[in-house]
Structures are given as C-alpha cells and as structure tokens.
Amino acid sequence: MLWHVANPIHKSFGSDNHAGAHPSVLAAVAAANSGDAVPYGADDISQRAEQMLCEATGAARAILVFNGTAANVAGLSLMLRHPYEAVICAQTSHLNIDECGASERILGCKLLPVDTPDGKLNPDLIATRLGGRGDEHRAQPRIVQLAQVTEVGTCYSLAELRAIQDFCRANDLLIYIDGARLANAAAQLGCSLADLGACADVLSFGGTKNGALGVEAVLVMTGSLADGAMYQRKQLMQLGSKMRFLSAQVIGLLDDDVWLANARQANAMARRLAAAVSAIPGVEIAYAMEGNGVFASIGQEQAELLQQDWNFHVWEATADGRCVVRWMTAFDTTEADVDGLAAAVEASVIHVKHASAR
C-alpha cells in the first residue's frame, strides 16, 4: 500500500490535523490489541486512561469522544438544564462557525455570538449578552464558551480566565472551554492542565491535533454536572464499543508527558516562524502569536503564489489587496520546515514586488 500525502514536497502548514499520529500513540494502540476486553469503557485500559486524565486535570470525570465537535456538544449538553438556555460565545468560535450548526440541531440551544477583537471574550463582552434575563421572550444565557487557544491563535492568560470565572460565578453562568488545543495553551502559559481545568466547569482536552489518531476528552470539573454523562455519550453517538483503542491513544499521549513535548515543539516552531516572517517587509502578524498558529497579513497575490507550493489557509480577505493567512505548526514540524516556509515567504515578497515593478 502506498498513500499520497497532501503535498509530497513540503510539510503542510494547513492545520495541525494534517499531521499523522505520534509513534507513542500507535504503539499504545498496538499494545492494547491483546485478546479480549470488555467493551464500552469498562476495560482496564479505559479505566486507567480516565484516571490519568482526572489526575492530570483535576477533573471529576473524563469522557472520551471521537472528535472536537462532539466534545463541544457533549460538554455543553451536560451543562444545559433547560431547553431555553443559551450559550454565549465568540462570533469567531469553532462552535459558532465551524460545526455545521451541530449545537443548534443536537442541543436545540441558541448561541449568542459576540464580536471580539482577538477571538477572546471578557466580562464586559459577556455582559452585553445578559440583557434579556428574566424575560420569557428571550433565551436565557447559561454557559460562557471559550476556546483555549482561540481560533485565531490567541491564548487567555490564567488571570484573564479567572476574571471571567469570577464574573460568571457572580452572574450564575457556567464556563465551558473548547480545548481542542489545550495542550498548546498549557505549553504557552507554562502552566498545568489542572491550572486550566480549574478555570472551567467543563472543558475538552484535544488529543487529535496533539498527535492522536482521533480522540478528545470531555473533562467534568464540577462533578455534579457528570450526572448522566454515560447516557449522553451513548445517545450522542460517541460511545465506542472497543473503547480501549480510544483510551490507549490517551495513554500514549499522557505517559511520559508526550502531550507536552508535542505541544512545546509545535509552539516553538510557530514562534520560530513568527519571528522569521515578522522581520520580512510587508508581512505583519495579525493576531498575537500565543500557541501553534501564526496569523499574518500579507498581500493576496503573494498568498496565491505561496499556495502553489505550500499548504495553508487564507483566513480572511482584508482591504487593499491584502489578506490574513494562517500557518499552523504541529508536533512533527521541524526547524527545517519552518525555515523553508520563511524563505519562501521572503522570496514571494521579492517576486511580487518585482512583478509589480515591471
């Protein structure tokens, strides 16, 4: 069997999910394949994976699901008590934009999106959505949804998270953190997963982008919210029968802190890339680089030229023939990969300049 990859020449900067699985993950999966096991998470591997997750994060319960959208939907579902409750989130959140309306369909709940300058909510922004409380004509805010790191690569400081948490507690709101890139946030902040977990009622911990084949954990910090979680996972089509193979992936990442090494490598490569490209004339960092994604403003023509050889997304078109591009790094991005891209960006500036000079 011979498979083609996305682009055989260059490492992809398209997304951290273009990467494959970390060898530790595959090894753990293979090791788990020894004879029979009771299904649905009652096996020893799954018990151990949950225990490791709870120890690492301080969670009362950890529930594995198949992907990030499922983690968000399941996490919110545990927190919603009534069908008229709503979720405050950033307009740019994955939840609002990139999940094909899963929350509306599956949960039937209203999202209350808020425009933000940098993908991050704060108490003042959250407060703008609390006006209709107690009015039967309005969906009632129950949850504040954050992403850590955000979809534009920014990262809440622990102080920022705690300020939001204080505000939410004072205003009878719960906090859900979409942690598809929680590992990158911990690496960025130099804090533990438990430090981040302590700022939420429920949060997800993304394995997939960190090096798994495909697994995410829903971490229930406020134990009372775990009531019924096992039914919800089943009903939300997230209960794997051979659960040990999901659980083994988690163990593969948590053992020996592979997850942290992976996140640090990705973040370091993003920092290296940001440093390199920000020195190039005409390239401007668009959002604070606080994880493993570099968002840069470059010329549209330049972006198209680069995309001929390199795999990355144009995030948004902006004025004056410019656009914001997104370069994501992964656990397996190397210095050579970064230096190659940086050189290509520099070359593209010159190329475009020359072309327009002619």
Residues 279-308 touching a second copy, rule: CB under 8 A, are: none
Among 60, 163, 191, 230, binds a second copy (CB under 8 A): 230
Least distance between a second copy and beta carbon 329 (Å): 12
Nearer to a second copy, 68 or 280 (CB): 68
- Write each residue from 150 to 189 as x if it is in contact with a second copy (CB under 8 A), else as -, in one continuous string: ----------------------------------------
Least distance between a second copy and beta carbon 231 (Å): 4
Nearer to a second copy, 45 or 164 (CB): 45
Of the candidate spans 100-108, 122-130, 287-295, 301-309, the one that interacts with a second copy by CB under 8 A turns out to be: 100-108
The 3 state secondary structure assigned to the chain is: CCCCCCCCCCCCCCCCCCCCCCHHHHHHHHHHCCCCCCCCCCCHHHHHHHHHHHHHHCCCEEEEECCHHHHHHHHHHHHCCCCCEEEEEECCCHHHHCCCCHHHHHHCCEEEEECCCCCCCCHHHHHCCCCCCCCCCCCEEEEEEEECCCCCCCCCCHHHHHHHHHHHHHCCCEEEEECCCHHHHHHHHCCCHHHHHCCCCEEEEECCCCCCCCCEEEEECCHHHHCCHHHHHHHCCCCCCCCHHHHHHHHHHHHHHHHHHHHHHHHHHHHHHHHHHHCCCCCEECCCCCCCEEEEEEEHHHHHHHHCCCCCEEEEECCCCEEEEEEECCCCCCHHHHHHHHHHHHHHHHHHHHHHHC
Nearer to a second copy, 20 or 340 (CB): 20
* Residues in 32-51 that interact with a second copy by CB under 8 A: 32-40, 43-45
130 is a contact residue toward a second copy (CB under 8 A): no
Site for a second copy (CB under 8 A): how many residues? 89
Nearer to a second copy, 220 or 349 (CB): 220
Least distance between a second copy and beta carbon 161 (Å): 26
Among 51, 166, 223, 237, binds a second copy (CB under 8 A): 237
Nearest by Cα to 246 from 76, 5, 15, 21: 21
Nearest by Cα to 201 from 79, 112, 333, 329: 79
Among 51, 108, 128, 355, binds a second copy (CB under 8 A): 108
Nearer to a second copy, 30 or 350 (CB): 30
Of the candidate spans 142-150, 185-193, 205-213, 321-329, the one that interacts with a second copy by CB under 8 A turns out to be: 205-213
295 has which bridge partners? 326
Distance of CA 34 to the CA centre of its chain: 32
* Residues in 241-260 that interact with a second copy by CB under 8 A: 241-242, 244-246, 251, 255
Q: Alpha-carbon distance 349 to 355, whole Å?
A: 10
238 is a contact residue toward a second copy (CB under 8 A): yes
Nearer to a second copy, 86 or 294 (CB): 86
Among 20, 58, 123, 340, binds a second copy (CB under 8 A): 20
Among 52, 58, 60, 66, binds a second copy (CB under 8 A): 66
Least distance between a second copy and beta carbon 47 (Å): 9
Among 52, 60, 138, 158, binds a second copy (CB under 8 A): 138
